Amino acid sequence: MKRKWIGVLLTLAVLVWAGPGLAADQAICYNCPPMWADWASQLKAIEQNIGITLPHDNKNSGQTLSQLIAEKSNPVADVAYYGVSFGIKAKEADVVAAYKPAHWEDIPEGLKDPEGYWFTIHSGTIGFFVNKDALGGAPVPKSWADLLKPEYKGMIGYLDPTSAFVGYASAVAANLSMGGSLDNFDPGIAFFKKLKENEPIVPKQTSYARVISGEIPILFDYDFNAYRGKYKDMANIEFVIPAEGSIVVPYVMSLVKNGPNAENGKKVLDFIMSDKGQAVWANAFLRPVRASALSPEAAAKFLPASEYERATPIDYAKMAEVQNTFRDRYLNEVR
C-alpha cells in the first residue's frame, strides 16, 4: 500500500512539473481553420519546426475581431489572422500589439502597418471557385453578369459579407467591377438584390468542402482555394476571374495585445514569415508576401498573368473605413 501511494504521489509530481512545460509549447491563434488556405499544413509546419502547437480555430475574420474585443480585458488568443480591413479595425480597437516579425523589410509598403500592428502574410484574388461537375450541364460562368441568369438558380454561394471577410471582399470586387466605388455601393447592392432571385447560398464559415462535394457549385472565393481543389483534391474545378474585373486582397496577422503566450506568439509569426513558413503558402497556391517564396512550379499552376491583369489592388484602409457602411446597407436592403 505504501508503495502504491508513493507511485501516485510521484505521478502527480510529474504532472505538476510537466504542466507548465506543455503550456509553454502552445499558443492560441484565432481564425486558423485547417480547411482554409491550407492552415492545416502551416500548423503542422509550426509544430514540427519550432515545437509550438496551435489548436484549430474555425472563426471567420469578423468573429475573430468581435472575440478579441470581448476579451480585451482578459485576452485568450496570442495571434490573430484576418482579412486586411479587420486587421486595420483591430488596431483601431486597441486589441493588438505592435510587432515587426522576421523579414519585416521584405513586406512591401502599403501591405503592413508602419508600426507592426498588422502585416500581410499572403494574398489572394477574388473570383469564382467552380465545380464543373455540379453545374448540371450549364456552362462555366465567365462574368458577374452571367450569375444573374436563371440557369444558375440555387447554384451560387458567397460567404456572409457582414461577417466573413471573403464575403465583404467579394462584394467590394463586384461593386467596383460594375462601376461603383468605395464611396458608392449602389451597383453592388443592386447586384446582390438581383442575385437574390437566384436563391444564393450564404454560409458564414469557409465552405471549401461544400464546393468539392458539389453542394455549392459556384462560390465567390479566392484563387488559392480553387487551385487546391483542382491540384490537391483532384476535383473538376475551374477558377474564373470575372470578365468585368476583380480585386487582389491581402490577408494579415497580428500579435494580440497582452496575449497569455506572447513570446510563443512572436515565434509563430516569425516562422510564418520565414522561408519555410512562406513556402507553405506558396505550395497552397497563395501568393506569399515574400515574392521569393513563390517557386516556378507553384506559379505555373496559376491562371496566366494576362488573366490576373483584371484583378487590381485597392485602397485597403478606405475599404476598412467603409465596411460598416456596406454592412448596414446589405442588412437593410438585401438580407
Q: What is the CATH number of the domain that holds 323?
A: 3.40.190.10
Measured between alpha carbons, how far is 335 from 333 in angstroms, rounded to an integer? 6
Among candidate residues 305, 329, 290, 166, the one with its CA nearest the CA of residue 241 = 305
Q: Where does the chain show beta strands of DSSP type E?
A: 29-30, 79-83, 96-97, 119-131, 156-157, 218-222, 237-240, 246-256, 287-288, 311-312
Q: Which domain holds residue 96?
A: 27-123+249-299
User: Is 306 contained in some domain?
Assistant: no
- Beta bridge pairs of residue 248: 125
User: Is 13 contained in some domain?
Assistant: no
| 222 shares its domain with 268 | no
Task: Kindly state the helix (H) or strand (E) to which residue 325 belongs, with its residue range.
Answer: helix 323-333
Residue with the three cell numbers 491563434: 29
Task: Render each residue's pLDDT in the chain as its tens digit; 335 residues.
Answer: 444 444 434 333 333 333 333 345 999 999 999 988 889 999 999 999 999 999 999 999 999 999 999 999 999 999 999 999 999 999 999 999 999 999 999 998 889 999 999 999 999 999 999 999 999 999 999 999 999 999 999 999 999 999 888 999 999 999 999 999 999 999 999 999 999 999 999 998 879 999 999 999 999 999 999 999 999 999 999 999 999 999 999 999 999 999 999 999 999 999 999 999 999 999 888 899 998 888 888 889 999 989 999 999 899 999 999 999 999 999 999 98
Domain count, the chain: 2
- 82 near 256, Cβ under 8 Å? no
Burial, 100: exposed, middle or buried (Cβ in 10 Å; 0-12, 13-18, 19+)?
middle
Task: Kindly state the helix (H) or strand (E) to which residue 309 belongs, with its residue range.
Answer: none
Q: pTM of whole model > 0.85?
A: no
| 148 shares its domain with 90 | no
| 214 shares its domain with 75 | no
| 94 shares its domain with 205 | no
**106-to-57, 102, 111, 274, 292 alpha-carbon distances in Å:** 28, 9, 10, 11, 10
| 48 shares its domain with 165 | no
| 106 shares its domain with 139 | no
